[in-house]
Amino acid sequence: MRTELHRQHTSALTGVRNLGILAHVDAGKTTVTERILYATGTTHKRGEVHDGTTITDFDSQERDRGITIFAAAVSCTWAGHRINLIDTPGHVDFADEVERSLRVLDGAIAVFDAVAGVEPQSESVWRQADRHAVPRIAFVNKLDRAGADLDTAVASIRERLHVIPLVVQLPIGYEDGFTGVVDLLRMRALVWADGSGTYEEGDVPDELRDEAQRRRRLLEETVAELHPGALEEFCARSELSGRTLAGALRELTRTGEGVVVLCGSAYRNRGVEPLLEAVVAYLPSPLDVPPVRGTLGEAVQERAADPAAPFAALAFKVNATATGRLTYLRVYSGTIRKGETVLDVGARRSERIGRILRVQADRHVDVDTAVAGDIVAVIGPKAARAGATLCAPDAPLVLEPPTVADPVVSVA
């Protein structure tokens, strides 16, 4: 029998985004991450920026973010959605860790530099994400830099990544004059209000109206070409409604046939709010992704993101911290309650879940349960390694074939 609690858990899952940020070193991954934490109020309550530059205000907050820089995953809240930001190590020496982090996320933002475009490392991480079929949106960063050009960066995405760019914004100005974007879905100008990262919405400036219309048309034609449902509407009306366009963009993101492209300057805190809106609009929730597959001996099992199914989670990182030995889990199915005992299948060992924590930028928040789709850290397991499957003792399965055990990282 499905309980009311189960129904609530399931509907809450539609608001979860397990998100990674992929980038070439220096493209701005750290800055984008920090601006997201800032925009979501995790490191700074919005509306508290008074005078002085935002950068300075922001930097003063950075000193408090002790947990964030060591966390394998940080939870924040945006417009009623829970966004779990999962760290994807950029360094090739951590190949296992990169693979595992790609495995536990449901979607990603690929960050590119508006001057350099696609760089070799962004190409390799893109290929890795392809192998894991991770739905992605692209953020062309650093539009404030001398020589920045969205079109050139978009051309390099098309040519080097062999994916069809679906550009949903037109920049208003470049370099120091980069003051906003035209949102091509709403056909409205979003102008950065100040350094706080918020924007004000207004009419498309006269001088950009023709160009914005041309680009909207191009977007509609590209989408109609790729998406049968959109094509039907396009043929009938020779244009697409915003609703059809948004639905088709979501679908093309899920299948990887196209990549939605946004732009901004993370450093100047410009463009991160529309980016978060796109995360919520286009990237999937844990309910939208295919069930995870596990094995038990020769048998393959599928587990859907169902809070009522037997519990199964993958430990994707283990950190020794001042709070204790944190085992980061992606819960794939079922529900775990504080105090329960689970089985580490590979090690054939029982482990007790003493505490369940949501890791935020500057604190750990204790919760009583974690359900399918969640990313949490637990304290209690004494020996579980990254890569271990933790599951209900009466419903064992292995989510990841055993490899050389990863070390426990000490960050205390």
Residues annotated within the binding site for GTP are: 23-30, 87-91, 141-144
Are 50 and 86 spatial neighbours (Cβ–Cβ below 8 Å)? no
CA-wise closest residue to 359 among 351, 348, 367:
367
Q: What span, in angstroms and rounded, lies between the C-alpha atoms of 275 and 70? A: 24
Closer residue to ligand GDP, CB minimum distance, 44 or 82: 44
**Binding segment toward ligand GDP, per CB under 6 A, in 136-144, 222-230, 324-332, 380-388:** 136-144
Q: What span, in angstroms and rounded, lies between the C-alpha atoms of 382 and 324? A: 10
Least separation in angstroms between CB 194 and ligand GDP: 16
Least separation in angstroms between CB 69 and ligand GDP: 11
Closer residue to ligand GDP, CB minimum distance, 179 or 369: 179
CA-wise closest residue to 309 among 331, 328, 329:
331
Least separation in angstroms between CB 392 and ligand GDP: 38
Closer residue to ligand GDP, CB minimum distance, 105 or 110: 110
Q: Which residues of 5-43 are buried (b: 16+ CB within 10 A; e: fewer)?
A: eeeebbebbebbbbbbbbbbeebbbbbbbbbbbbbbebb
Query: CB under 8 Å to 15, separation ≥6 — which residues?
Result: 80, 81, 82, 285
Beta bridge partners of 16: 82
27 lies in the binding site for ligand GDP (CB under 6 A): yes
Residues between 260 and 299 that touch ligand GDP (CB under 6 A): 265-267
Are 351 and 380 spatial neighbours (Cβ–Cβ below 8 Å)? yes
Q: Which of 29, 44, 216, 385 binds ligand GDP (CB under 6 A)?
A: 29
Q: Which of 13, 19, 22, 28 binds ligand GDP (CB under 6 A)?
A: 28
Are 72 and 33 spatial neighbours (Cβ–Cβ below 8 Å)? no
Tokens of 302: 């599928």
Closer residue to ligand GDP, CB minimum distance, 59 or 366: 59
Closer residue to ligand GDP, CB minimum distance, 28 or 274: 28
**Other Cβ atoms closer than 10 A to 410:** 10
- H helix or E strand, kind and range, residue 317: strand 312-321
Q: What span, in angstroms and rounded, lies between the C-alpha atoms of 186 and 265? A: 21
Least separation in angstroms between CB 99 and ligand GDP: 19
Tokens of 114: 């508006």
Least separation in angstroms between CB 98 and ligand GDP: 14
Q: Which of 6, 15, 30, 309 binds ligand GDP (CB under 6 A)?
A: 30
Tokens of 198: 């918020």
**Taking each helix axis from N to C terminus, what angle separates 29-39 and 272-282, rounded to the nearest 10 degrees?**
80
Q: Which of 145, 188, 250, 352 binds ligand GDP (CB under 6 A)?
A: 145
Closer residue to ligand GDP, CB minimum distance, 89 or 310: 89
Least separation in angstroms between CB 114 and ligand GDP: 8
23 lies in the binding site for ligand GDP (CB under 6 A): yes
Q: Which of 87, 106, 144, 233 binds ligand GDP (CB under 6 A)?
A: 144
The site that binds ligand GDP (CB under 6 A) totals a number of residues, namely 15
Residues that bind ligand GDP (CB under 6 A): 23, 25-31, 141-142, 144-145, 265-267
